[in-house]
């Protein structure tokens, strides 16, 4: 049986009177299926039994979405650009901590790398354009599958092994980024401006976060396809 990969979702409501709904782009689930995994969507419902859920999952994919609330990393002042998803935070952050403790393989993408870092004790830049105006643009207007800046990976790192490269041009759709790295993690990938764009954990089966969106590039980028295959293989171990 293919390994079961839990996939986190975003929350949205069509209007103020509508109940919350979970939302996920098909690109994530297609990438998991292409890699040989079976995706299972995780609802942003407070009653979700995290322990029981993780007991049945073989891997965890943390997807993109709106911003993690700055209060979770000790910042009470919120930049005007920050868009919150409090229902998701309430489920996803405890889920990450429990998955990390259980050594469940984790692949974290965009918001996912940020949530992984925050859940384990790190901090974020709330808004790169205002806090680091000298950085390259990290919100491209080019099509989502197109690469717009360079990612440099530490040789021998999990990131470099999973992608099978030490340099790669990637897409970019974010206004926040990893600032201080959580103690269980280490930075192993950087954008050309020095922004941390890959983190991982040593001594775990597979814990890797990337800031770019590999699920948007699997049709044009072998390294991105390999990343998902390596993750699913780890989950199947």
Marked catalytic residue, from 110, 138, 149, 216:
110
- With residue 234 as reference, give the H or E element that holds it: helix 222-235
* Helix, strand, coil % in the chain, rounded to nearest 5: 30, 25, 45
Name the DSSP letter for residue 84.
B
Marked catalytic residue, from 92, 179, 215, 216:
215
Catalytic annotation present for 110: yes
Marked catalytic residue, from 179, 213, 216, 221:
213
Q: Interior CA angle at 211 toward 162 and 66, to 5°?
A: 135
d(CA 202, CA 206): 8
Neighbours of 75 (CB within 10 A): 15
Annotated active-site positions, please? 110, 213, 215
């Amino acid at each position: 049986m293919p390994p079961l990969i839990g996939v986190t979702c975003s929350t949205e409501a069509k209007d103020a009177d509508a109940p919350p709904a979970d939302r996920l782009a098909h690109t994530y689930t297609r990438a998991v299926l292409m890699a040989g995994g079976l995706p299972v969507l995780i609802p942003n419902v407070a009653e979700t039994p995290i322990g029981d859920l993780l007991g049945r999952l073989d891997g965890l994919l943390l997807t993109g979405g709106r911003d993690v609330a700055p209060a979770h990393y000790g910042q009470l002042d919120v930049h005007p650009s920050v868009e919150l998803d409090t229902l998701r935070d309430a489920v996803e952050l405890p889920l990450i901590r429990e998955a990390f403790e259980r050594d469940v393989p984790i692949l974290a993408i965009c918001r996912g790398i940020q949530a992984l870092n925050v859940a384990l004790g790190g901090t974020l830049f709330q808004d790169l354009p205002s806090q680091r105006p000298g950085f390259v643009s990290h919100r491209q207007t080019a099509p989502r599958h197109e690469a717009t800046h360079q990612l440099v990976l530490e040789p021998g790192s999990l990131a470099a092994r999973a992608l099978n490269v030490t340099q790669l041009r990637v897409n970019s759709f974010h206004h926040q980024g990893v600032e201080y790295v959580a103690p269980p993690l280490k930075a192993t990938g950087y954008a050309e401006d020095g922004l941390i764009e890959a983190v991982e954990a040593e001594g775990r089966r597979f814990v890797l976060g990337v800031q770019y969106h590999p699920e948007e590039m699997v049709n044009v980028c072998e390294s991105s396809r390999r990343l998902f295959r390596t993750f699913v293989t780890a989950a199947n171990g």
